[in-house]
Amino acid sequence: MPNTIDPRPADRPRTRGAQKVWVATVSLIVLSIAIPALALDSRCEKYPDRPKCEATDGDTTTTTTLPPEITTTTTVPPEPTTTMPVPNLFDAVSVIGCSNTHHSATGYADLSDVDLLVNTAWAGHTVKYWASNTTPWTEHYLPLRPLDGFDGAWLNLCERAVEGLTLENVELVLAKIWEIDLGIPVWISPLNYYENEECLVTNGNQIPTDGSLIADVLVADHELVLRGPDLGPLSEELLRADQCHPNRDGTEFLGSQLVGFFDT
């Protein structure tokens, strides 16, 4: 049998001394690791934003950064500017006035390719007559009115010296137009001009000067009132024997001026 030799008694203390040294060394290593870790934990509780305190890739904690609030600015478009369309964009424009107006509209109908004007004027229907009677409305305006109404009106300011032409009567005619066809534009013109400045008829004089002044006043005061064409002047060669109403050539002359205004 092989001899089993126990350490000598003298060697046993030396072995126990080595073990103590090894235990002490291991303890120092553990403390060197634990103490800094504890210190780091303490600092991270107080200063969590330190670089060493940030979570590693394997950390299950996620940090969500919310985007800044978005300020929404709503731009309201400006209100459209209201401008009156040009006459030739309309379908039907009534004609209000007297016999001279009727002649002018007749000349227009003969020459126009658009046929915009609807001739509701008739003999003797001065502004005062339109303002104070229902006949021109019931017998001329309404029977020729389209089912969906007129788009506009041309008001020729006929007058007689014995009746005169007043702003009040013109405004009454405007009110009647807008009562039937609400909000339509109205072009206003004085009676056609004459080379001799006035028209002599049995009932007195028809002078366009007052009509021009009233037309300008109404255009300035009302958004729906527009300045119509100034027709004429009619020379003696373009007049009938009464020196007031246009003859055939005069009718075409006035009609051509209406075409130039309303159809272009």
The whole-chain average pLDDT of the chain stands at: 75
- In one-letter notation, the amino acid at residue 58 is G
Rg (alpha carbons) of the chain, rounded to whole number: 52
Residue 241's pLDDT is what? 87
Residue 59 scores a pLDDT above 70: no
How does pLDDT run across 148-193, given as a tens digit for each residue? 999 999 999 988 766 678 999 999 999 999 999 999 999 999 989 8
Q: For the residues 47-75, what does the mean pLDDT come to?
A: 42
Q: For the residues 99-103, what does the mean pLDDT come to?
A: 94
For every residue of 102-134, DSSP letters joined together read HHHHHHHHHH-SS--EEE---TT--HHHHHH-S
Residue 40's pLDDT is what? 45
Q: For the residues 110-128, what does the mean pLDDT come to?
A: 93
Q: Under a CB-based contact definition with an 8 Å cutoff, are residues 232 and 214 in contact? A: no
Residue 22's pLDDT is what? 52
Q: For the residues 214-223, what does the mean pLDDT come to?
A: 94
